[in-house]
Every structure is written in C-alpha cells, then in structure tokens.
Amino acid sequence: MYLVPVYTKESQIQGKGVFTSEEIQSGQVVWQYNSSHDKSLSQADYVRLSADEKMYMEKVAYLSPTSNTYIFPPKDDPALYTNHSSTKNNLSVCIDERVSPEPYFIANRGIAKDEELVNNYHEFDTAVSLRESNPIWL
C-alpha cells in the first residue's frame, strides 16, 4: 500500500503509471505491505487459476521471496500501475522482517512531485527470476 499520496495517469514507460503528488525524500518508505489492505494468494491456489487469471496475476502480483506467496493490490489500487525499469527506477526494495513481513520500498533518491514511481521487478519478484524468459510486458 502506498504510504505517500499518489495518482495514476498515462506513462511514457507503458500504459498507466503511478505518480507522486508530493516530493519524496531519499530513504523515505513509499510502499509497504499491509495485510488488511493488500491481497495474497498461495502458490497452490495460483496453480488452480485459469490461464487468463494467471496472465492478470503476472501483471499485478509478485511472488514474495520472504513468504513464497503472491502479493497483489486490491482492485482500484494505484499500485496496480507501478511500472518496471531496470535502469531508471527510483524505488529500491528492502527486506527487513522487523519492519514488514514482506518486501517494502524506499525512495533511492529524492523524487520530485509529479514524477513516476518505478521499481525493478527483478529485485523482489521471485516469479520473474524463475521464468525462462521475461513476460512480453517487461
């Protein structure tokens, strides 16, 4: 769940993206898992999904390196539109179970108001690392 004010709009990266409504300081926590807000799905339940549901999950969920479950935002959550960049990301993943049971994201530099928030999926999504090839959207 985003901990800073955000909005979505068309992205120069792909489709819609998530943009910050205010300046963010370097090191500030920007997104953190919240069990009463964010959703999870076991790998056993994932296997039972239809092909279309799996394709949707590939786009909106990540396979957590800490819990081995799929974590994803609820419908209408801006986090659904967080885009990937392997080189120009401004969010870095942190794993510290004293802070959160799941990976969380901090600003790896100062982020200007109205800048798109972007992370590198390879840093935290075990499913991306396990695939023989990247999905077509990555």
Share of the chain above pLDDT 70, in %: 93
For the beta sheet containing 39-41, the strands, ordered from the edge strand earlier in sequence to the opposite edge, are 39-41, 70-72, 62-63
- Residue 137, domain member (yes or no): no
- Residue 1, domain member (yes or no): no
Residue 103 belongs to domain spanning? 6-130
What CA–CA distances, in Å, run from 20 to 1, 27, 74, 82, 125?
Answer: 13, 15, 19, 11, 23
Query: What is the residue type of 97?
Result: E
- Residue 138, domain member (yes or no): no
Q: pLDDT at position 131, please?
A: 59
- Residue 67, domain member (yes or no): yes
Q: Structurally, how many domains does the chain consist of?
A: 1
Q: pLDDT at position 59, please?
A: 87
- Residue 136, domain member (yes or no): no
- Residue 135, domain member (yes or no): no
Q: pLDDT at residue 18 above 90?
A: yes
**pLDDT band at 88; cut points 50, 70, 90:** confident
Q: pLDDT at position 51, please?
A: 93
User: What average pLDDT score do residues 36-60 get?
Assistant: 94
Q: pLDDT at position 129, please?
A: 67
Contact 78, 2 (CB under 8 A): yes
pLDDT digits (tens, 9 = 90+) for 93-102: 999 999 999 9
User: What average pLDDT score do residues 42-70 get?
Assistant: 93
Contact 39, 106 (CB under 8 A): no
- Residue 81, domain member (yes or no): yes
**pLDDT band at 137; cut points 50, 70, 90:** very low
